[in-house]
Structure 1
Amino acid sequence: MIVTIATYAPDAAAGLVAENLALLRARSGRKVLLMDATSRQACRQWATERERLHLEPRMTARAVRAAGLSEELEQLYPHFGDVVIDTDGANGHECRAALIMAQIAVVPLAPDQADVDARYDLIARLNNARMFNPGLKVLFVTAGTEHDPAPRELCAIRSYAAQVMAGGLASTILHLPALLWGANRPGRCASDIESSTGAAEMAALYEEVFQTACCQQ
C-alpha cells in the first residue's frame, strides 16, 4: 500500500505524520519504505539517525526528487509491503507524482488553512490526481495546537474536505505540541514515547488511515 502525505504548504507536521505512520506500520510486521520527496529531507535524516542508534524497528528511507519518483517507486514497491511518502506542498511536482501512485493521501490541515477560496489549489491538486488515479482515497486530518479546534473551525475543515472527491475527515485530532514529543531526540518520534498523548493520537490515526485505505480494495 502506498500512503502519500500531502499538505497545503511545506510543513513539519507532514514529516512527523509520515515518520509515525511508517514506524507504526513497521511495528505491525510489515516491510516499510519511507520515501522523502521534500527539500527538508527531515524523514531521511530521522531514519538515518534511527539506524545509527540501532533503534528498532529499523526504517528504510530513500531521498527522491520529482524526476525520479515514479520510476524509483515502481522499482522498489515490489520489495516492500508498504510505502509512505512525505512530500512538499500541494504545488510540488513530487506531490503530484506521489498522489497519482497512492492508494490513500493523508492531508494534515490546520484550522486556519481551511479556507476554500484562499487554499483552493490543494483541492484542485487532489481532485486532479483522482482523474488519473480514480481509486485514490483522501483523508484530511485536523492538526491543531494544544487545544481542540472550536466547533466552527471543525465545521470549516469538514466543508473544505467535502470539496475533494472521495475526501473524508478523520475523527482523530492531532495536537502538534504532543506530536513533537520525542522529535527533539535523534531518531525518535512521538510513537516512541510510551503512554504519551502524541503516541495515542498517532495510534488512533494509524487505525483510521489503514482502515480507510483497505475499504477501497
Structure 2
Amino acid sequence: MIIAIVNQHSSPERTVVARNLAVLRAQSGRRVCLMTTAGNGDSDWSEERSDAGVQPWIETHQVGSRAVKTRLAALRPLFDDILIDAGTRDTDGCRCVLAESRLVVVPVRGGALELDLQYRLLARLHGARTFNPAMRVLFVAVSGGGGPDVSERAAVLAHVARVDDATLADTVLHAPAARDYGPGRCVSDAITCDPDAAAELRALYDEVYPPPAPLAFAVQAQMRHQGL
C-alpha cells in the first residue's frame, strides 16, 4: 500500500506523521519503506536510528523528482507498505507519487493557512484524481495545546470540502513536533515519555490503517491455512 504525506507549507508535521506511521506500521510486522522526495534528511534519520540500535529499523530512500516512478516500480515488490514524504512543492515527483498513492494524508494547521499556497495544493490533489480516481484524501488537523478552536476547525473543514471525497480525521494532533526524542527516535518509540502524543499518533495510525473487519479477518486466516 502506498501512502503519501503532503502539505503546502514548510511545517515539520508532515515529516513527524510520515516517520511515526512508518514506525507503527513496522511494529505490526509489516515490511515498510519510508521514501522522500523532499530532501529532508530521512536517510540520516534512518542511519541515526540504526546507530542507536532502535527497533524496528526503517529502510529509507531519498529520490530525486525524475526518478520517482522508476524507484517506486523497483521498491513495490520488496515492501508491504511504502510511505512517501512528498514535500511541499508541485514537482513531477510529487505528481507521480499522488498518481500512485491509495491514500494522501494532509496535515494542516487551521490557524496558519496561507490561502494561495493551500489553493495550489488543492489544485494538485484535483489534478491527481484525473490519473488516480480511487485516491483517498485524509486531512489531519494540527493545533496547539488546547485547540483547535472553532475558527481553526472551520478553516480546515472549508479546505476538506473543496476536495472531492476528502475526509477530516477524527484525530487531532497537538504540536507533535514540539519534542526531540533522541537520535533516530520518534514519539512512537518513546510512549512512556509523552503518552498523550503517542496516543494521538496511534489513533491516527488506526484511521490510516483500519483493522480488518472480524469476518474478513477470519476469511483471510482460513485462506492462509488452506494455502490459498
TM over 0.5: yes
Partner of 2:222: none
Query: Using the alignment, how far apart are the partners of 1:143 and 1:94 within structure 2?
Result: 26
Partner of 2:185: 188
Matches within 5 A, 1:35-54: 35-41=35-41, 43-54=42-53
Q: % of aligned pairs identical? A: 35
Structure 2 unmatched ranges of 5 or more: 214-228
Query: Using the alignment, how far apart are the partners of 1:154 and 1:138 within structure 2?
Result: 17
Query: Using the alignment, how far apart are the partners of 1:88 and 1:185 within structure 2?
Result: 23
Q: Return closer, same or farther for 1:158/1:83 CA change in 2, 3 Å cut-off.
A: same
Query: Using the alignment, how far apart are the partners of 2:177 and 2:131 within structure 1?
Result: 33
Report the TM-score when normalising by structure 1: 0.90
Residues 24-47 of structure 1: per-residue CA shift (max 9 Å, x gap) = 000011000000211322x22211
How far 1:144 sits from its partner (Å)?
A: 1.3
Which residue identity does 1:146 align to in structure 2?
A: G
Partner of 1:120: 119
How far 1:158 sits from its partner (Å)?
A: 0.9
How far 1:118 sits from its partner (Å)?
A: 5.8
The answer to whether the 8 A contact 1:37-1:94 is kept is yes
Partner of 2:75: 76
Which shifted more, 5-14 or 57-66?
Answer: 5-14
The answer to whether the aligner puts 1:146 opposite 2:145 as a matched pair is: yes
Q: Return closer, same or farther for 1:95/1:113 CA change in 2, 3 Å cut-off.
A: farther
Q: Return closer, same or farther for 1:175/1:26 CA change in 2, 3 Å cut-off.
A: same
The answer to whether the 8 A contact 1:179-1:190 is kept is no
The answer to whether the aligner puts 1:2 opposite 2:2 as a matched pair is: yes
Number of residues of Structure 1 aligned to a counterpart in Structure 2: 210
The answer to whether the 8 A contact 1:69-1:98 is kept is yes
Structure 1 unmatched ranges of 5 or more: none
How far 1:119 sits from its partner (Å)?
A: 2.3
CA RMSD of superposed structures (Å): 1.9
How far 1:48 sits from its partner (Å)?
A: 1.3
Residues 157-192 of structure 1: per-residue CA shift (max 9 Å, x gap) = 11211111221100101111x4433x3510100111
Which residue identity does 1:169 align to in structure 2?
A: L
Which shifted more, 77-86 or 88-97?
Answer: 88-97
Query: Using the alignment, how far apart are the partners of 1:168 and 1:92 within structure 2?
Result: 24
Report the TM-score when normalising by structure 2: 0.86
Partner of 2:172: 173
Query: Using the alignment, how far apart are the partners of 1:190 and 1:180 within structure 2?
Result: 10
Query: Using the alignment, how far apart are the partners of 1:171 and 1:31 within structure 2?
Result: 27
Partner of 1:65: 64
The answer to whether the 8 A contact 2:38-2:87 is kept is yes
Q: Return closer, same or farther for 1:118/1:7 CA change in 2, 3 Å cut-off.
A: closer
The answer to whether the 8 A contact 2:36-2:87 is kept is no
Kindly report structure 1 stretches of 4+ aligned residues shifted beyond 4 Å: 113-118
Query: Using the alignment, how far apart are the partners of 2:112 and 2:128 within structure 1?
Result: 20
